[in-house]
Chains A and B, each alone.
Chain A
Protein backbone atom coordinates (compact mmCIF):
# COMPACT_ATOMS: atom_id res chain seq x y z
CA UNK A 1 0.00 0.00 0.00
CA UNK A 2 1.53 3.30 -1.14
CA UNK A 3 0.49 6.81 -2.02
CA UNK A 4 1.91 7.72 -5.41
CA UNK A 5 1.67 10.40 -8.06
CA UNK A 6 0.34 8.77 -11.20
CA UNK A 7 0.09 10.13 -14.72
CA UNK A 8 -3.15 9.91 -16.68
CA UNK A 9 -2.85 8.04 -19.97
CA UNK A 10 -6.49 8.11 -20.95
CA UNK A 11 -9.79 9.16 -19.40
CA UNK A 12 -12.66 8.49 -21.78
CA UNK A 13 -16.36 7.82 -21.76
CA UNK A 14 -17.21 4.16 -22.45
CA UNK A 15 -20.94 4.06 -21.75
CA UNK A 16 -23.72 6.35 -20.58
CA UNK A 17 -22.14 8.36 -17.67
CA UNK A 18 -19.38 5.73 -17.28
CA UNK A 19 -15.71 6.56 -17.80
CA UNK A 20 -12.57 4.51 -18.07
CA UNK A 21 -9.45 6.04 -16.51
CA UNK A 22 -6.03 4.58 -17.22
CA UNK A 23 -2.94 5.87 -15.43
CA UNK A 24 0.62 4.72 -14.97
CA UNK A 25 2.84 4.85 -11.93
CA UNK A 26 6.61 5.19 -11.56
CA UNK A 27 6.86 1.81 -9.86
CA UNK A 28 4.99 -1.39 -10.56
CA UNK A 29 2.49 -2.74 -8.09
CA UNK A 30 1.22 -6.24 -7.65
CA UNK A 31 -2.53 -5.80 -7.67
CA UNK A 32 -4.86 -8.69 -6.87
CA UNK A 33 -8.21 -9.02 -8.68
CA UNK A 34 -10.88 -7.21 -6.67
CA UNK A 35 -8.53 -4.75 -5.01
CA UNK A 36 -9.19 -1.03 -5.31
CA UNK A 37 -7.50 2.36 -5.37
CA UNK A 38 -8.30 5.74 -3.79
CA UNK A 39 -7.95 8.63 -6.22
CA UNK A 40 -7.52 12.24 -5.11
CA UNK A 41 -9.68 14.60 -7.17
CA UNK A 42 -8.94 18.32 -7.37
CA UNK A 43 -9.50 20.11 -4.07
CA UNK A 44 -12.08 17.64 -2.80
CA UNK A 45 -11.24 16.58 0.76
CA UNK A 46 -12.10 12.92 0.24
CA UNK A 47 -10.50 10.56 -2.23
CA UNK A 48 -12.76 8.48 -4.44
CA UNK A 49 -12.52 4.69 -4.11
CA UNK A 50 -12.52 2.85 -7.46
CA UNK A 51 -12.20 -0.86 -8.08
CA UNK A 52 -9.32 -1.87 -10.31
CA UNK A 53 -10.65 -3.10 -13.62
CA UNK A 54 -7.35 -3.91 -15.30
CA UNK A 55 -3.77 -3.83 -14.06
CA UNK A 56 -0.75 -4.64 -16.17
CA UNK A 57 2.77 -3.70 -15.18
CA UNK A 58 2.76 -0.01 -14.29
CA UNK A 59 -0.64 0.60 -15.89
CA UNK A 60 -3.92 0.58 -14.02
CA UNK A 61 -7.43 1.07 -15.37
CA UNK A 62 -10.41 1.93 -13.22
CA UNK A 63 -13.91 2.58 -14.49
CA UNK A 64 -16.28 4.92 -12.73
CA UNK A 65 -19.76 6.29 -13.02
CA UNK A 66 -20.45 9.99 -12.64
CA UNK A 67 -22.37 10.09 -9.35
CA UNK A 68 -21.65 13.57 -8.03
CA UNK A 69 -19.43 16.61 -8.33
CA UNK A 70 -16.18 14.78 -7.62
CA UNK A 71 -16.58 12.17 -10.34
CA UNK A 72 -17.89 14.84 -12.76
CA UNK A 73 -14.77 16.91 -12.00
CA UNK A 74 -12.58 13.87 -12.60
CA UNK A 75 -14.27 13.15 -15.93
CA UNK A 76 -13.90 16.70 -17.26
CA UNK A 77 -10.57 17.85 -15.83
CA UNK A 78 -8.16 14.95 -16.04
CA UNK A 79 -6.79 14.53 -19.54
CA UNK A 80 -3.76 12.55 -20.68
CA UNK A 81 -0.59 13.80 -19.00
CA UNK A 82 -2.33 15.17 -15.88
CA UNK A 83 -0.98 14.10 -12.50
CA UNK A 84 -3.16 12.20 -10.08
CA UNK A 85 -2.60 11.25 -6.44
CA UNK A 86 -3.43 7.56 -5.99
CA UNK A 87 -3.37 5.29 -2.96
CA UNK A 88 -2.93 1.63 -3.94
CA UNK A 89 -3.41 -1.29 -3.85
CA UNK A 90 -6.16 -1.48 -1.23
CA UNK A 91 -8.43 -4.16 0.21
CA UNK A 92 -8.26 -7.93 0.17
CA UNK A 93 -9.47 -8.81 -3.34
CA UNK A 94 -10.83 -12.10 -4.64
CA UNK A 95 -9.17 -15.41 -3.80
CA UNK A 96 -10.03 -18.48 -5.83
CA UNK A 97 -8.70 -21.70 -4.37
CA UNK A 98 -6.52 -24.08 -6.37
CA UNK A 99 -9.22 -26.79 -6.38
CA UNK A 100 -11.96 -24.40 -7.50
CA UNK A 101 -11.88 -24.84 -11.28
CA UNK A 102 -15.28 -23.65 -12.42
CA UNK A 103 -15.75 -20.02 -11.54
CA UNK A 104 -19.07 -18.27 -12.10
CA UNK A 105 -18.99 -14.49 -12.25
CA UNK A 106 -22.15 -12.51 -11.66
CA UNK A 107 -22.03 -8.74 -12.03
CA UNK A 108 -24.43 -5.86 -12.31
CA UNK A 109 -23.98 -2.25 -13.44
CA UNK A 110 -20.66 -0.72 -12.40
CA UNK A 111 -20.12 -3.87 -10.33
CA UNK A 112 -18.86 -5.58 -13.49
CA UNK A 113 -15.55 -3.67 -13.36
CA UNK A 114 -13.85 -5.39 -10.40
CA UNK A 115 -15.06 -8.69 -11.89
CA UNK A 116 -13.23 -7.93 -15.13
CA UNK A 117 -10.03 -7.93 -13.07
CA UNK A 118 -10.99 -11.41 -11.84
CA UNK A 119 -11.76 -12.67 -15.34
CA UNK A 120 -8.39 -11.40 -16.55
CA UNK A 121 -6.58 -12.97 -13.59
CA UNK A 122 -8.20 -16.42 -13.83
CA UNK A 123 -9.10 -16.82 -17.53
CA UNK A 124 -6.06 -19.00 -18.27
CA UNK A 125 -6.33 -21.40 -15.34
CA UNK A 126 -10.06 -21.62 -14.69
CA UNK A 127 -13.30 -22.19 -16.52
CA UNK A 128 -15.01 -18.83 -16.28
CA UNK A 129 -18.74 -18.45 -16.79
CA UNK A 130 -19.68 -14.78 -16.73
CA UNK A 131 -23.14 -13.26 -16.31
CA UNK A 132 -23.15 -9.49 -16.56
CA UNK A 133 -26.28 -7.39 -16.15
CA UNK A 134 -26.94 -3.86 -17.34
CA UNK A 135 -29.93 -1.54 -17.33
CA UNK A 136 -29.98 -1.44 -21.12
CA UNK A 137 -27.76 -1.59 -24.19
CA UNK A 138 -26.49 1.98 -23.68
CA UNK A 139 -25.02 1.01 -20.31
CA UNK A 140 -23.12 -1.98 -21.75
CA UNK A 141 -19.36 -1.61 -22.06
CA UNK A 142 -16.10 -3.61 -22.10
CA UNK A 143 -17.84 -6.62 -23.59
CA UNK A 144 -14.56 -7.73 -25.13
CA UNK A 145 -12.89 -7.94 -21.70
CA UNK A 146 -15.83 -9.88 -20.27
CA UNK A 147 -15.54 -12.43 -23.09
CA UNK A 148 -12.12 -13.68 -22.03
CA UNK A 149 -13.61 -16.60 -20.09
CA UNK A 150 -15.33 -19.75 -21.34
CA UNK A 151 -18.69 -18.07 -21.78
CA UNK A 152 -20.41 -14.75 -21.35
CA UNK A 153 -24.08 -13.94 -21.00
CA UNK A 154 -24.98 -10.26 -21.11
CA UNK A 155 -28.33 -9.50 -19.57
CA UNK A 156 -30.30 -6.27 -19.89
CA UNK A 157 -33.28 -5.30 -17.77
CA UNK A 158 -35.23 -4.13 -20.83
CA UNK A 159 -34.06 -6.84 -23.20
CA UNK A 160 -32.38 -4.30 -25.51
CA UNK A 161 -29.34 -6.59 -25.66
CA UNK A 162 -28.78 -10.26 -24.85
CA UNK A 163 -30.78 -12.01 -22.14
CA UNK A 164 -33.87 -10.13 -20.98
CA UNK A 165 -33.80 -9.91 -17.21
CA UNK A 166 -31.21 -9.84 -14.48
CA UNK A 167 -27.75 -11.39 -14.41
CA UNK A 168 -28.79 -13.47 -11.38
CA UNK A 169 -31.76 -14.86 -13.29
CA UNK A 170 -29.57 -15.72 -16.29
CA UNK A 171 -27.01 -17.34 -13.99
CA UNK A 172 -29.55 -19.44 -12.11
CA UNK A 173 -31.03 -20.74 -15.37
CA UNK A 174 -27.59 -22.17 -16.16
CA UNK A 175 -26.66 -23.11 -12.59
CA UNK A 176 -27.53 -26.82 -12.83
CA UNK A 177 -25.65 -27.13 -16.11
CA UNK A 178 -22.46 -25.39 -14.95
CA UNK A 179 -22.29 -26.55 -11.32
CA UNK A 180 -19.74 -23.87 -10.41
CA UNK A 181 -17.17 -24.48 -7.66
CA UNK A 182 -17.27 -20.84 -6.60
CA UNK A 183 -19.16 -17.65 -7.46
CA UNK A 184 -17.66 -14.15 -7.51
CA UNK A 185 -20.05 -11.23 -7.56
CA UNK A 186 -20.36 -7.48 -7.40
CA UNK A 187 -23.31 -5.22 -8.00
CA UNK A 188 -26.14 -3.28 -6.38
CA UNK A 189 -27.45 -4.54 -3.03
CA UNK A 190 -30.78 -5.87 -4.40
CA UNK A 191 -28.83 -7.96 -6.91
CA UNK A 192 -26.56 -9.36 -4.19
CA UNK A 193 -29.56 -10.18 -2.01
CA UNK A 194 -31.21 -11.99 -4.94
CA UNK A 195 -27.99 -13.94 -5.49
CA UNK A 196 -27.79 -14.83 -1.80
CA UNK A 197 -31.35 -16.17 -1.83
CA UNK A 198 -30.91 -18.01 -5.12
CA UNK A 199 -27.70 -19.77 -4.09
CA UNK A 200 -28.72 -20.53 -0.50
CA UNK A 201 -28.55 -24.25 0.18
CA UNK A 202 -26.53 -25.06 -2.94
CA UNK A 203 -23.32 -25.41 -0.92
CA UNK A 204 -21.44 -23.30 -3.47
CA UNK A 205 -19.35 -20.55 -1.85
CA UNK A 206 -20.22 -17.06 -3.05
CA UNK A 207 -17.88 -14.08 -2.61
CA UNK A 208 -19.19 -10.55 -3.00
CA UNK A 209 -17.34 -7.27 -3.34
CA UNK A 210 -19.11 -4.51 -1.40
CA UNK A 211 -19.23 -0.76 -1.87
CA UNK A 212 -19.46 1.86 0.88
CA UNK A 213 -18.69 5.55 1.36
CA UNK A 214 -15.12 5.73 2.60
CA UNK A 215 -12.94 8.08 4.61
CA UNK A 216 -9.32 6.99 4.71
CA UNK A 217 -9.57 3.81 2.59
CA UNK A 218 -6.89 2.04 4.65
CA UNK A 219 -8.80 0.85 7.71
CA UNK A 220 -8.06 3.63 10.19
CA UNK A 221 -11.21 5.74 10.36
CA UNK A 222 -13.97 3.09 10.68
CA UNK A 223 -16.28 4.95 8.32
CA UNK A 224 -17.02 2.28 5.70
CA UNK A 225 -18.33 -0.55 7.84
CA UNK A 226 -20.71 -3.36 6.94
CA UNK A 227 -22.67 -5.58 9.29
CA UNK A 228 -21.20 -9.00 9.75
CA UNK A 229 -23.50 -11.77 10.86
CA UNK A 230 -23.14 -11.85 14.62
CA UNK A 231 -23.42 -8.09 14.92
CA UNK A 232 -19.78 -7.15 14.42
CA UNK A 233 -18.84 -4.30 12.11
CA UNK A 234 -16.22 -5.10 9.49
CA UNK A 235 -14.30 -2.48 7.53
CA UNK A 236 -15.17 -2.66 3.84
CA UNK A 237 -11.86 -1.04 2.87
CA UNK A 238 -9.52 -3.23 4.94
CA UNK A 239 -11.35 -6.43 5.94
CA UNK A 240 -13.05 -6.38 2.49
CA UNK A 241 -14.20 -5.28 0.05
CA UNK A 242 -14.65 -9.01 -0.68
CA UNK A 243 -16.63 -11.07 1.82
CA UNK A 244 -18.19 -14.50 1.82
CA UNK A 245 -21.86 -13.78 1.15
CA UNK A 246 -23.11 -15.45 4.34
CA UNK A 247 -20.67 -13.45 6.49
CA UNK A 248 -22.37 -10.13 5.79
CA UNK A 249 -25.80 -8.57 5.95
CA UNK A 250 -26.73 -7.17 2.56
Chain B
Protein backbone atom coordinates (compact mmCIF):
# COMPACT_ATOMS: atom_id res chain seq x y z
CA UNK B 1 0.00 0.00 0.00
CA UNK B 2 1.46 3.32 -1.08
CA UNK B 3 1.63 6.14 1.43
CA UNK B 4 -0.94 8.68 0.21
CA UNK B 5 -0.22 11.29 2.86
CA UNK B 6 0.99 14.67 1.71
CA UNK B 7 2.29 17.65 3.64
CA UNK B 8 0.79 20.99 2.68
CA UNK B 9 2.28 24.01 4.47
CA UNK B 10 3.27 21.80 7.40
CA UNK B 11 -0.19 20.27 7.71
CA UNK B 12 -0.65 16.61 6.92
CA UNK B 13 -3.47 15.55 4.59
CA UNK B 14 -4.34 11.85 4.63
CA UNK B 15 -4.34 11.95 0.85
CA UNK B 16 -4.01 14.66 -1.81
CA UNK B 17 -7.65 14.64 -3.01
CA UNK B 18 -9.90 17.57 -2.08
CA UNK B 19 -13.32 18.40 -3.54
CA UNK B 20 -13.19 21.88 -5.07
CA UNK B 21 -15.02 24.90 -3.76
CA UNK B 22 -18.58 25.33 -4.99
CA UNK B 23 -19.15 21.73 -6.00
CA UNK B 24 -19.42 20.24 -2.53
CA UNK B 25 -21.27 22.71 -0.28
CA UNK B 26 -19.91 22.21 3.24
CA UNK B 27 -19.79 18.45 2.71
CA UNK B 28 -23.04 17.43 4.37
CA UNK B 29 -24.91 16.32 1.25
CA UNK B 30 -22.06 14.17 -0.06
CA UNK B 31 -21.60 12.70 3.41
CA UNK B 32 -25.07 11.15 2.97
CA UNK B 33 -23.57 9.20 0.05
CA UNK B 34 -20.12 8.32 1.43
CA UNK B 35 -18.13 9.09 4.55
CA UNK B 36 -16.25 12.25 3.62
CA UNK B 37 -13.61 11.58 6.25
CA UNK B 38 -12.01 9.54 3.44
CA UNK B 39 -11.01 12.83 1.78
CA UNK B 40 -7.77 14.73 2.13
CA UNK B 41 -9.84 17.81 2.87
CA UNK B 42 -12.87 19.77 1.71
CA UNK B 43 -12.78 23.19 0.04
CA UNK B 44 -15.95 24.91 1.22
CA UNK B 45 -18.43 26.84 -0.83
CA UNK B 46 -17.09 30.41 -1.19
CA UNK B 47 -17.80 32.35 2.00
CA UNK B 48 -18.45 36.06 2.35
CA UNK B 49 -18.92 38.24 5.44
CA UNK B 50 -22.63 38.69 4.80
CA UNK B 51 -25.01 36.10 3.32
CA UNK B 52 -25.38 36.35 -0.46
CA UNK B 53 -28.24 35.15 -2.62
CA UNK B 54 -26.26 34.82 -5.85
CA UNK B 55 -27.37 35.11 -9.47
CA UNK B 56 -30.62 34.30 -11.24
CA UNK B 57 -31.29 30.98 -12.98
CA UNK B 58 -30.29 29.19 -15.14
CA UNK B 59 -26.96 28.99 -13.36
CA UNK B 60 -25.55 26.03 -15.26
CA UNK B 61 -25.04 24.96 -18.85
CA UNK B 62 -23.30 22.07 -20.55
CA UNK B 63 -21.13 21.86 -23.65
CA UNK B 64 -18.86 19.11 -25.03
CA UNK B 65 -16.70 17.90 -22.17
CA UNK B 66 -17.36 20.98 -20.04
CA UNK B 67 -19.94 22.81 -18.00
CA UNK B 68 -20.41 26.51 -17.37
CA UNK B 69 -21.64 27.82 -14.04
CA UNK B 70 -22.62 31.21 -12.72
CA UNK B 71 -23.89 30.69 -9.19
CA UNK B 72 -22.56 34.06 -8.03
CA UNK B 73 -21.26 33.14 -4.58
CA UNK B 74 -24.57 32.27 -2.98
CA UNK B 75 -23.68 31.38 0.62
CA UNK B 76 -25.12 31.78 4.11
CA UNK B 77 -22.25 34.02 5.27
CA UNK B 78 -19.20 33.19 7.35
CA UNK B 79 -20.98 33.41 10.72
CA UNK B 80 -23.58 30.81 9.72
CA UNK B 81 -20.78 28.54 8.51
CA UNK B 82 -18.88 28.91 11.78
CA UNK B 83 -22.00 28.28 13.83
CA UNK B 84 -23.59 25.45 11.87
CA UNK B 85 -20.98 23.62 9.85
CA UNK B 86 -17.38 24.12 10.90
CA UNK B 87 -17.23 21.84 13.95
CA UNK B 88 -18.90 19.02 12.05
CA UNK B 89 -16.71 19.42 8.97
CA UNK B 90 -13.54 19.66 11.06
CA UNK B 91 -14.45 16.41 12.82
CA UNK B 92 -14.41 14.77 9.39
CA UNK B 93 -11.41 16.16 7.53
CA UNK B 94 -9.18 19.16 6.83
CA UNK B 95 -11.13 22.34 6.16
CA UNK B 96 -10.15 24.65 3.32
CA UNK B 97 -12.33 27.72 3.88
CA UNK B 98 -12.78 29.41 0.52
CA UNK B 99 -13.40 33.14 1.04
CA UNK B 100 -14.28 36.12 -1.11
CA UNK B 101 -14.75 39.82 -0.45
CA UNK B 102 -15.75 43.02 -2.17
CA UNK B 103 -12.94 45.15 -0.74
CA UNK B 104 -9.47 44.66 0.74
CA UNK B 105 -10.97 45.34 4.18
CA UNK B 106 -13.56 42.62 3.68
CA UNK B 107 -10.88 40.12 2.73
CA UNK B 108 -8.90 41.08 5.83
CA UNK B 109 -11.98 40.91 8.04
CA UNK B 110 -13.20 37.50 6.90
CA UNK B 111 -9.68 36.07 7.23
CA UNK B 112 -9.45 37.44 10.76
CA UNK B 113 -12.71 35.71 11.59
CA UNK B 114 -11.40 32.35 10.34
CA UNK B 115 -7.82 32.56 11.61
CA UNK B 116 -6.97 29.61 13.81
CA UNK B 117 -10.39 28.01 13.29
CA UNK B 118 -9.90 26.35 9.91
CA UNK B 119 -6.95 24.37 8.52
CA UNK B 120 -6.45 26.58 5.46
CA UNK B 121 -7.92 29.74 4.02
CA UNK B 122 -8.26 29.63 0.25
CA UNK B 123 -8.55 33.14 -1.12
CA UNK B 124 -11.00 33.41 -3.98
CA UNK B 125 -9.70 36.30 -6.04
CA UNK B 126 -10.81 34.76 -9.27
CA UNK B 127 -14.55 34.21 -9.24
CA UNK B 128 -15.69 35.20 -12.74
CA UNK B 129 -19.35 35.40 -11.79
CA UNK B 130 -19.68 38.36 -9.46
CA UNK B 131 -19.52 41.98 -10.50
CA UNK B 132 -17.73 43.32 -7.49
CA UNK B 133 -14.59 41.80 -6.00
CA UNK B 134 -13.82 38.26 -6.93
CA UNK B 135 -12.00 38.37 -10.20
CA UNK B 136 -11.41 42.12 -10.11
CA UNK B 137 -8.59 41.35 -7.65
CA UNK B 138 -7.26 38.37 -9.50
CA UNK B 139 -6.16 39.70 -12.88
CA UNK B 140 -3.22 42.04 -12.37
CA UNK B 141 -0.09 41.20 -10.35
CA UNK B 142 -0.24 44.46 -8.33
CA UNK B 143 -3.78 43.85 -7.09
CA UNK B 144 -3.01 40.18 -6.39
CA UNK B 145 -0.06 41.24 -4.23
CA UNK B 146 -2.26 43.78 -2.45
CA UNK B 147 -5.22 41.49 -1.69
CA UNK B 148 -2.90 38.67 -0.63
CA UNK B 149 -1.08 41.00 1.77
CA UNK B 150 -4.41 42.23 3.19
CA UNK B 151 -5.54 38.67 3.85
CA UNK B 152 -2.16 37.58 5.19
CA UNK B 153 -2.12 40.45 7.70
CA UNK B 154 -5.16 38.83 9.38
CA UNK B 155 -3.84 35.28 9.35
CA UNK B 156 -1.48 34.57 12.23
CA UNK B 157 -2.12 30.87 12.55
CA UNK B 158 -3.81 29.57 9.42
CA UNK B 159 -1.90 29.09 6.16
CA UNK B 160 -3.08 31.16 3.22
CA UNK B 161 -3.74 29.63 -0.19
CA UNK B 162 -4.32 32.05 -3.05
CA UNK B 163 -6.55 30.65 -5.79
CA UNK B 164 -5.44 31.98 -9.16
CA UNK B 165 -7.56 32.79 -12.16
CA UNK B 166 -6.64 31.36 -15.56
CA UNK B 167 -8.16 34.40 -17.30
CA UNK B 168 -4.91 36.35 -17.10
CA UNK B 169 -1.90 37.42 -19.10
CA UNK B 170 0.80 35.60 -17.14
CA UNK B 171 0.45 32.79 -14.63
CA UNK B 172 4.13 32.99 -13.53
CA UNK B 173 3.83 36.74 -12.89
CA UNK B 174 0.61 36.30 -10.88
CA UNK B 175 2.01 33.34 -8.96
CA UNK B 176 5.06 35.40 -8.04
CA UNK B 177 2.83 38.33 -7.02
CA UNK B 178 0.84 36.11 -4.65
CA UNK B 179 4.08 34.78 -3.19
CA UNK B 180 5.35 38.32 -2.65
CA UNK B 181 2.06 39.24 -0.98
CA UNK B 182 2.67 36.48 1.55
CA UNK B 183 0.82 33.45 0.15
CA UNK B 184 1.83 30.14 1.75
CA UNK B 185 0.42 28.12 -1.14
CA UNK B 186 -1.30 28.57 -4.49
CA UNK B 187 -4.27 26.78 -5.98
CA UNK B 188 -5.25 26.86 -9.63
CA UNK B 189 -7.07 26.97 -11.90
CA UNK B 190 -10.37 28.61 -11.18
CA UNK B 191 -12.81 28.49 -14.10
CA UNK B 192 -12.31 30.02 -17.53
CA UNK B 193 -14.81 32.71 -18.42
CA UNK B 194 -17.07 31.38 -21.17
CA UNK B 195 -20.30 31.98 -23.05
CA UNK B 196 -22.87 29.37 -24.09
CA UNK B 197 -25.56 30.53 -26.50
CA UNK B 198 -29.03 29.08 -26.94
CA UNK B 199 -29.27 29.49 -30.70
CA UNK B 200 -33.05 28.94 -30.75
CA UNK B 201 -33.57 31.99 -28.58
CA UNK B 202 -30.50 33.93 -29.68
CA UNK B 203 -29.63 34.45 -26.02
CA UNK B 204 -27.06 33.18 -23.53
CA UNK B 205 -28.10 30.00 -21.71
CA UNK B 206 -27.01 31.45 -18.36
CA UNK B 207 -28.96 34.22 -16.64
CA UNK B 208 -25.60 35.86 -15.88
CA UNK B 209 -24.75 35.70 -19.61
CA UNK B 210 -21.19 34.47 -19.04
CA UNK B 211 -20.07 31.70 -16.71
CA UNK B 212 -17.05 29.78 -15.53
CA UNK B 213 -16.01 26.85 -17.74
CA UNK B 214 -14.84 23.69 -15.97
CA UNK B 215 -14.61 19.98 -16.63
CA UNK B 216 -12.52 17.53 -18.64
CA UNK B 217 -12.16 19.90 -21.61
CA UNK B 218 -10.03 22.41 -19.69
CA UNK B 219 -7.58 19.90 -18.24
CA UNK B 220 -4.58 20.26 -20.59
CA UNK B 221 -4.64 24.05 -20.21
CA UNK B 222 -4.91 23.72 -16.43
CA UNK B 223 -2.01 21.25 -16.27
CA UNK B 224 0.17 23.64 -18.27
CA UNK B 225 -0.76 26.52 -15.94
CA UNK B 226 -0.04 24.45 -12.83
CA UNK B 227 3.33 23.55 -14.30
CA UNK B 228 4.06 27.25 -14.90
CA UNK B 229 2.98 28.26 -11.40
CA UNK B 230 4.89 25.47 -9.69
CA UNK B 231 8.05 26.46 -11.51
CA UNK B 232 7.63 30.18 -10.83
CA UNK B 233 7.48 30.00 -7.03
CA UNK B 234 8.94 27.99 -4.15
CA UNK B 235 5.62 27.51 -2.31
CA UNK B 236 3.39 24.46 -2.80
CA UNK B 237 0.66 24.36 -5.42
CA UNK B 238 -2.74 22.68 -5.39
CA UNK B 239 -3.77 21.77 -8.92
CA UNK B 240 -7.23 21.47 -10.42
CA UNK B 241 -9.11 21.63 -13.69
CA UNK B 242 -11.01 18.70 -15.18
CA UNK B 243 -9.76 15.92 -12.91
CA UNK B 244 -12.01 12.86 -13.16
CA UNK B 245 -9.69 9.89 -12.51
CA UNK B 246 -6.36 9.04 -10.87
CA UNK B 247 -4.36 9.52 -14.08
CA UNK B 248 -5.76 13.04 -14.35
CA UNK B 249 -4.71 13.75 -10.77
CA UNK B 250 -1.24 12.29 -11.42
CA UNK B 251 -0.74 14.63 -14.38
CA UNK B 252 -1.22 17.57 -12.01
CA UNK B 253 1.08 16.04 -9.40
CA UNK B 254 3.79 15.41 -12.00
CA UNK B 255 3.39 18.98 -13.23
CA UNK B 256 4.26 20.16 -9.73
CA UNK B 257 1.12 20.02 -7.59
CA UNK B 258 1.31 18.75 -4.00
CA UNK B 259 -2.43 18.08 -3.85
CA UNK B 260 -5.38 18.27 -6.23
CA UNK B 261 -8.96 19.43 -6.20
CA UNK B 262 -11.85 17.74 -7.96
CA UNK B 263 -14.86 19.83 -9.00
CA UNK B 264 -17.10 19.06 -11.95
CA UNK B 265 -16.51 15.31 -11.65
CA UNK B 266 -18.48 15.34 -8.38
CA UNK B 267 -21.57 16.07 -10.48
CA UNK B 268 -20.87 13.39 -13.08
CA UNK B 269 -20.15 10.73 -10.47
CA UNK B 270 -20.86 11.44 -6.81
CA UNK B 271 -18.17 8.91 -5.85
CA UNK B 272 -15.45 10.56 -7.95
CA UNK B 273 -13.24 11.60 -5.03
CA UNK B 274 -13.16 8.28 -3.16
CA UNK B 275 -12.69 6.46 -6.47
CA UNK B 276 -9.74 8.68 -7.38
CA UNK B 277 -8.18 8.04 -3.96
CA UNK B 278 -8.50 4.28 -4.39
CA UNK B 279 -7.21 4.39 -7.99
CA UNK B 280 -4.31 6.58 -6.91
CA UNK B 281 -3.27 3.99 -4.36
CA UNK B 282 -3.50 1.20 -6.95
CA UNK B 283 -1.58 3.22 -9.52
CA UNK B 284 1.25 3.89 -7.09
CA UNK B 285 1.41 0.21 -6.15
CA UNK B 286 1.51 -0.87 -9.79
CA UNK B 287 4.27 1.63 -10.54
CA UNK B 288 6.38 0.95 -7.48
CA UNK B 289 5.71 4.41 -6.06
CA UNK B 290 6.04 4.17 -2.27
CA UNK B 291 4.84 7.67 -1.45
CA UNK B 292 2.43 9.67 -3.59
CA UNK B 293 4.44 12.78 -2.71
CA UNK B 294 7.28 11.41 -4.86
CA UNK B 295 5.15 12.20 -7.90
CA UNK B 296 5.08 15.94 -7.24
CA UNK B 297 7.17 17.70 -9.87
CA UNK B 298 8.49 14.42 -11.28
CA UNK B 299 7.76 15.47 -14.86
CA UNK B 300 10.75 15.29 -17.21
CA UNK B 301 10.45 17.50 -20.25
CA UNK B 302 11.40 16.22 -23.70
Contacts and interface: CB of A to CB of B under 8 A. Distances in A.
Do A and B truly interact?
yes
A220 B33 contact: no
Interface of A: 1-3, 40, 43-47, 70, 85, 87, 212-226, 231-233, 238
Interface residues of B, number: 34
A233 B53 contact: yes
Contact of B266 (A40, A43, A216): A216
Q: Which 4 A-B pairs have the closest CB atoms?
A: A220-B25, A220-B29, A218-B29, A213-B58
A125 B264 CA distance: 44
B62 A223 contact: no
Secondary structure dominating the interface of A? loop
Contact of A47 (B66, B71, B267): B267
Interface in B17-58: 22-25, 28-30, 32-33, 45, 53-54, 57-58
B57 A215 contact: no
B247 to A, nearest CB: 16
Nearest to A236: B57
A120 B91 CA distance: 43
A216 B59 contact: no
A91 to B, nearest CB: 12
Contacts of B29: 216, 218-220, 238
A221 B66 CA distance: 16
Given A3-B269, A221-B24, A225-B54, 14 more contacts: A40-B268, A47-B268, A87-B270, A214-B60, A215-B59, A218-B33, A218-B270, A220-B23, A220-B24, A221-B71, A224-B60, A226-B57, A231-B53, A232-B53
B215 interface: yes
Contacts, number: 99
A233 B71 CA distance: 11
A30 to B, nearest CB: 15
Contacts of B57: 212-213, 223-226
Contacts of B270: 3, 87, 216, 218
A219 B267 contact: no
A43 B268 CA distance: 9
Interface string B266-289: 111111000000000000000000
B10 interface: no
Given A70-B62, A213-B58, A218-B29, A45 B268 contact: yes
